[in-house]
Structure formats: C-alpha cells, structure tokens
A and B are shown apart, each in its own frame.
Chain A
C-alpha cells in the first residue's frame, strides 16, 4: 500500500520515502533473521562453540616440534668414544636414545614404529675416529613421513656438530668445522610452531564460520517457499541480501574476537600488530567469506546442494591451499595461481604478519586489497544471480 501512495507523490518525495523505508524494512529483515538464529541455536553454536572447541583442540594438540624422538642406538663396540656420542644424544631434549643389542632388533623396532631412526656405530668406530678418513655415524631413518625424517636428520647433525666441537676443545684441537652457521630466526626465535599454527587455524575456522552461516540462508527461503512471500512485499533484493548479511556479520565478528582473545591470552601468541588493523582485516575477510557462502546459497537450488557445495569448497581448500601449512612459493605455478582464488590465502598472510611481525604495510595492503576485490566480486555476483533467479 505504501507503493500505491508513492505513485501520487513527486519524484523527489518518492525517493525520500523509499530511502526512509529502506532503513525500516532492513531493520525488520535483520530482526527476523535474528529471531530465526535464536530459534535454531546451531548458528550461535557455529559462531561461538565451534571456534572454542577447534582452537582448544588444535592449540594444544597440533605441533610441528618434535621432542623426545625415540632413536635406537646400536653400538657394536662400546668404549669411551661411543659413550661420549651416546651421551650427546641423551643430553638434548630432541631425542630419547634407546640402546639396542644388535641391528636386527633395532630394525624390528623401526618396522613396528617403536623408534623413528637407528644410529649405528660399527665395531671399528674408535679406530677410524683416529684415522685420516674419519668414522661414519650410520643413521637409518624411517622415510615414510619424509618431513619428519628430514627434521630428525637435522637434529642428528646438530648433535654431531656439538659433539665434534666439544671433542676438539677437549683435545685442544682447532675447530673441526671451518664455517660456523649462526641462524637468527626473526619473529619466532624458538620455532614455537603454535605461534604460527594458531593464526592459521583462526583462518580455517573463520572460513568455515563464514560459509556455514550463510550457505544455507538464501537456499532455505527458497526451500521453504518463504522467498516468494518475501518478494511480494516491497522489500528489494538488495535489502534481503543486506538483511541476511548483517546479523551473520555480527555473529562472525563475535567469533573472531573470541578466537583472537583465546590466541593471545590462552595460547600466548604475541600480537605485535595493532588491534584496529586486525579488526579491519577480519571485517574484510568475513565480508568475502560470507559473500562466498551467500553465492553458494544462491547458486545452489536448494539447501541440500548448498550444503554439499559448502563442505567440498571450504575446509580442505582453506587447509591445503592457503599457505597455512604448505608453503605457497614452493608449489607449481599453476597451483599458485589457483591459490589466488582463495580468500583464506590473503588472510593467512595478514594474520601471520600482524600477529608475529607487526604492521608491515607492504605485506598488509596488497592482501587487504585482494580481500576487498574478492568481497566485491562475491557480493556483486550474489546480487546479480539473485535477481536473475526471479525471472
């Protein structure tokens, strides 16, 4: 009926009423969406329970830092020299050396997964130690998990280098290794893997939240036939979409705030950048993630297909292609291009920098710009397709 009245007004007055009406209609739509959220509390669970459960589990559970790796030591002829080396292995927190009588039992232990590697010193170790060629320290690794094997190899070389230096000083000999490598690891001097895993996990969790919250909302209206009911009212498609986004944006930002609070206070991840940059970047990412959910919801014809799409397009891509675990620079070029389609990729870069390094603008700005582009594309496409579905 308000439209009927509008027709009798002058154009500028009409525009006035529509604008005022937009605010009122939007308020109504947002209210309706909030009521729906309260009725099926799974949305609230998605925004607040999911981050807490997942962060607790992963913050405590996941670690790249190998400690007390069981290592079999087979010493064919124990003496003072070998004892020094075995002692060097026992002195680091990286290894738990287990002395075994012979290679056969050590190999069986490795096949059974009881030890991750074997250090083998032959009976002529001490003799060859004094010869010109030097004595081999044979190291056999279980190469199934290649990265783990490499890590162990690196630790063994560390123990070996320290042992050599110690021996040299004891004998008053010059240092056996000409170049002494002195690594300085910036931002995370102790290699605390939690410091980089927790920000990455926040990205994965926020990707899921974004998609889960909005993937079903539009499809649900179509499924239940309430979309037609909405369309015969004076509300515009634009307003419907905004009415869907605003409540979930508020929920999502709440979930994000909770995640950051847990990262900083519970997991002691340093937050070196400023909070407002983090907030702004989160808002941009959430806009892109919610936009993607909305697009899924509109492209799929019903909630079922929207659910399928949400499962297949969010979690694993965000986990594997975002640079959270696997280094993007080492992927083949074609795969690197594909990673540019992931909003998560930009957010991982922003979060790792802003948590560990600070406000480094040359890193933050391009990533933020990419997030803006993605948000605009997703939301614009949603708007377009939603209108087309009416025809």
Chain B
C-alpha cells in the first residue's frame, strides 16, 4: 500500500510542477491542439492555384482549346500572358509563375497534319517535389486533351489506355495520409515536453539527490515520473484523434481498440526515451539538446513526409529503432486500411521492446549518473 502511496505522491508532485504554473499549463495544452488544426490544413501535397503563364505563339483554335484545358482546371491559375520568349525567364526567376506553357508557331499545323505537336512546359524546379506534382497534373490535362482530340477527329484513340484506381483513398487526398501522421508527431512532441526535461530539471536544481535519499526505490521514481506522461499523452492523443475524425473528416475504419493499444505502446516507448535522455543530462540545456537530437531524426525518418522505401538500406535499418515509424504504420493502417488487431502485432511488439529497454535503462541511470 505504501508503495502505491509513494508513487501517487510523486505523480501528484509531477503534475503540480507542470500544471501549477499557469504559463507551463498553457504551453502543454494549448499549442498542440492549435498546431493540430494549423498543420492539418498545411500538410498536404495537393497543389491548387498553381500560378501559370501562357506563351501562345500559334493562336489557332487548337492551341486555344489546349490553353482552355489548363486554365479551366481548378489546380491552375493563369497569372500572365506572354508575348516574347525573353519574358519567360523573369516570370520563373521571380517566382511569379511556377509554370510557363509555351505553344510553338507550328502547333496547329502539325496537329492538323497528324504529326506530333510539341508543347513546351517550363517549370520552376527549385522545389523539385512541387515541380514533379505540377508536371503530373499537366500530364493528365494533356492526356485528356489528346483523348478528346483523337475522338473528335476520328483517329479512334490510342490502342491502350491506363485505367487507374486507388484502394483505401479513392480520390488520392493527401490530407488523409498526413492528418493521422500529425497525431503521431504531436503526441511525440507532447511526451517529450513532459518527460525529457523532468529529471534534468531536478538534477540541475539538486532536488533529484533529495529524491534519491527518500525511501523511494528507483523503480518507484521511474513509475512516478512516467505516469504523468502517459496520462497527458493519452488525453492529448485522443483529443487530436477526435479533431482528425470530426474536424478533418479522415475516415477511421479500423478498430478504436487497436488504435488505443498502439497509442499506449507508443507512449510507453516515447516516455522511455524521454526519461532516458533526461536522466543522461545533468543540465536542462543538455536535456533540451537531447530532446531535439531525438525528435528531429525520429520525425524525418518516420515515413511521415518522405517514404521509408526511398531511403538507402542502411538508413532503413536505422528506422527500425524509431518508435514513431511503427506508430505511423498503426495510424495509417487503422485509419485508412482498417487493418485488424492481429495484423498490427508486428508493429506493436517493437514499440513494447523499445519501451521496456529504455525505461529500464533510465531507471538504472537514476543511481549511476551522479555528479
């Protein structure tokens, strides 16, 4: 009974240090929820209003029809009409236009003769990902123009065509992919907030030594320090999930139980890493540095924004140490694919192992690392 009391007392104290101060209470609660909203809108690879300039040297009916295909598409926005070749460079250089559509003077004639009519497209490649996405949109528009042209002129169309269909996300909305990812990112950040500085702060102030001379065992200190992170993490993770489902309308087709299991195991591993960083540091500054040195790689190497499959083999192996990698798989699986609990076990156990190892190491460090 006394063990429980001691742990409870430490837990209450941890909560007080975070929640007593109005300012720190606000920092832990408000920004993550606000950021969910802002990031949910910001994180998307779907482009719209791509600034487009048109340089039409032909001016015939066919060329105007092609231009209309572009300007009529909601993803493009015509910002300029060019009359000279020399005008292309400043528009692209100054980022006034992302794309310039250049139709040569022979366009209509070649088209009428049944030859391939070239359409030149100048794209600003400074952000190569945006350029590739914009080029993809342009390809689709040209393809639909070609189909229509062939149909209108009795050429019967190409002998084969691609008929694409996407599972789980039929309209390929990239928000459906990113919003579940944001749940993982922000839960991780909140856990780091609560745990990464907690031991470092006590060490710097010297109160950790006092804690060590109390009858509490390191394992009890560990539990007392870990529980607040778990409680805050579960609450904020759930709140962010609710925002994802009810505000952003991302479909949640899998089981909520699997999601909660994943969340708890992820929190366990994140708390373990946070407490480990914290107990390795002697000053708050070191704790902060450690938190960032973990946070940044784990977000960038999680598959949140860039696929893990594109990484070199050695870096892919490294991602197996990253709990966020597994949690993102759980989130995407449960939200979009409806993956059943049994198929997620492969994601669950690595998080559990990381959690147990890091928590034990943190507890061991409590006594060893004393200055």
Which residues of chain A (117-168) have a CB below 8 Å from chain B? 125, 129-130, 132-151, 153-154, 156-158, 160, 164, 167
Interchain CB contact under 8 A, A62 and B160:
no
> Can you list, as one digit per residue, whether each of A186-209 has a CB less than 8 Å from chain B (1) or not (0)?
111101110110000000100010
Count residues of A near B (Cβ-Cβ below 8 Å): 119
A50, chain B: closest CB distance, angstroms: 7
Can you list 30 contacts pairing A with B, beta carbon distance less than 8 Å?
A54-B297, A63-B310, A63-B311, A66-B310, A110-B167, A133-B157, A137-B162, A139-B163, A140-B166, A142-B168, A146-B174, A160-B162, A174-B155, A175-B115, A175-B116, A178-B150, A180-B119, A181-B119, A183-B138, A184-B120, A185-B123, A191-B131, A196-B129, A208-B296, A216-B284, A303-B201, A304-B17, A312-B32, A338-B38, A357-B93
The 3 nearest A-B residue pairs measured at CB: A143-B166, A143-B169, A188-B125
With a CB–CB cut-off of 8 A, which chain B residues contact A316?
35, 39, 185-186, 189, 299
Name, among A50, A111, A188, the residue most crowded by chain B CB atoms within 10 Å (CB to CB): A188
Give the size category of B's interface with A. 35 or more
User: Is B357 among interface residues, defined by CB-CB distance under 8 A?
Assistant: no
A-B contact count (CB 8 A): 362
Contact partner of A174 among B114, B143, B164, B193, CB < 8 A? B114
Q: Is the CB of B43 within 8 A of A326?
A: yes
In contact, A189 and B125 (Cβ under 8 angstroms): yes
Q: Knowing A58-B300, A180-B116 are in contact, say whether A42-B159 is a contact too (CB < 8 A).
A: no
Once bound together, how far apart are the Cα atoms of A138 and B117, in whole Å?
28
Return chain B residues, CB-CB under 8 Å to A308: 24, 27-28, 193, 197
A275-305 CB mask vs B (1 if < 8 Å, else 0) is 0000000000000000000000000110111
* A67 cross-chain contacts in B, Cβ below 8 A: 310
Q: Which residue of B lies closest to A62 (CB)?
A: B306
Residue in A46, A135, A149, A335 whose CB lies within 8 Å of B169: A149
Q: Does B73 contact A (CB under 8 A)?
A: no
Q: Is the CB of B165 within 8 A of A330?
A: no
How does the 8 Å CB contact mask read for B134-159 relative to A, with 1 for contact and 0 for none?
A: 01101110110110011000011111
**Contacts A143-B168, A185-B131, A330-B46; is A178 near B149 (CB within 8 Å)?**
yes
Q: By the criterion CB–CB under 8 Å, are A154 and B163 in contact?
A: no
B122 an interface residue at 8 Å Cβ cutoff? yes
A45 to B300, CA, bound (A): 20
B215 contacts across to A, CB distance below 8 A: none
- Closest Cβ of chain A to B18, distance in Å, is 9
Give the contact stretch, choosing among B217-225, B226-234, B287-295, B362-370.
Answer: B287-295
The answer to whether B332 and A144 touch across the interface, beta carbons within 8 angstroms, is: yes
Instruction: Indicate whether A164 sits within 8 Å of B94 (C-beta atoms), given known contacts A62-B306, A141-B167, A177-B146.
Output: no
Q: How far, in whole Å, are A85 and B337 apart by their CA atoms in the complex?
A: 30
A12 interface residue (CB < 8 Å to B): no
* Residue among B27, B169, B174 making CB contact with A309, cutoff 8 Å: B27
Interface residues, chain B, CB within 8 Å of chain A? 17, 21, 23-24, 27-28, 31-32, 35, 38-39, 41-51, 66, 90, 92-95, 98, 111, 114-133, 135-136, 138-140, 142-143, 145-146, 149-150, 155-170, 172-174, 176-177, 185-186, 189, 192-193, 196-197, 201, 204, 283-289, 291-293, 295-297, 299-301, 305-307, 309-312, 315, 318, 332, 336-337
Q: A64-B132, A138-B165, A204-B296 are in contact. Are A307 and B197 (CB under 8 A)?
A: yes
Check A362 against B94 for contact (C-beta < 8 Å).
Answer: yes
> Is A313 an interface position by the 8 A CB rule?
yes
Given contacts A50-B293, A57-B315, A327-B47, whether A160 and B160 have CB atoms under 8 Å apart is yes
Cα–Cα, bound, A316→B160 (Å): 45
Q: Is A331 an interface residue (CB 8 A)?
A: yes
Among B46, B116, B160, B176, the one with the most A-chain Cβ atoms within 10 Å of its Cβ is B160
- In the complex, A37→B210 CA distance in Å? 28
Q: Are A327 and B162 in contact (CB under 8 A)?
A: no
Q: Chain A's nearest CB lies how many Å from the CB of B305?
A: 5
| Contact indicator B119/A188 (Cβ below 8 Å) | no
> Which of chain A's residues have a CB closer than 8 A to the CB of B312?
60-61
Q: How far is the CB of A114 from chain B (nearest CB, A)?
A: 11
* Candidates B118, B135, B139, B300; contact of A185 at CB < 8 Å: B135
Residue of B285, B307, B332 touching A216 (CB-CB under 8 A): B285
- B280 to A: closest C-beta gap in Å: 11
**B128 lies within 8 A of A195 (CB):** yes
Q: Which residue of A lies closest to B156 (CB)?
A: A132
**B164/A156 in contact, CB under 8 A:** yes
Q: Within the complex, which residue of B48, B156, B295, B300 is in contact with A330, where a contact is CB–CB below 8 Å?
A: B48
Residue of A nearest to B107 (CB): A179
